[in-house]
Amino acid sequence: MEGPSRKAIVGPRLSPETIRRLDILFRPEDREQAKALLYERCGNNLPLLEKNDMYQLERFRFAALKYSDGDLSMLEAAVKLAQEDWRDLVVTAGFADGVEGHQQWEPQRRS
């Protein structure tokens, strides 16, 4: 369960690369909700990431996007996993072998 202090800290903003990948994955009508979810619940409110900026958070936000495959309910599940232990999300997304591996991930547009 989330405590009040976790909800109070949001952001930072989504990086341009996070938005680009999100726009590839999600349908236009789902994009604003997906952006809000990442901004509000997958940012500095993740454990031990309180001081990360938008670029340092890309690894975790990209992992959530990859896990979601453009599905809002899966994005919610990914964010929940990140809130519990973001290391599990990073491993599941295949980004655990290095801190820059996420930069090589290029999502495919859903049909």
- The 10s digit of each residue's pLDDT in 74-94 is 999 999 999 999 999 999 999
Instruction: Say whether pLDDT at 44 is over 50.
Output: yes
Please state the pTM of the whole predicted model: 0.86
Can you give the residue ranges of every domain in the chain?
4-96
Encode 72-107 in three state secondary structure. Answer: HHHHHHHHHHHHHHHHHHHHHHCCCCCCCHHHHCCC
Q: If you average pLDDT over every residue of the chain, what do you get?
A: 88
More confident residue, 1 or 46: 46
pLDDT beyond 80 at 54: yes
Taking every pair of Cα atoms in the chain, the longest distance, rounded to a whole number of angstroms, is 39
Write the DSSP symbol of residue 111. Answer: -
What is the reported pLDDT for 9? 52
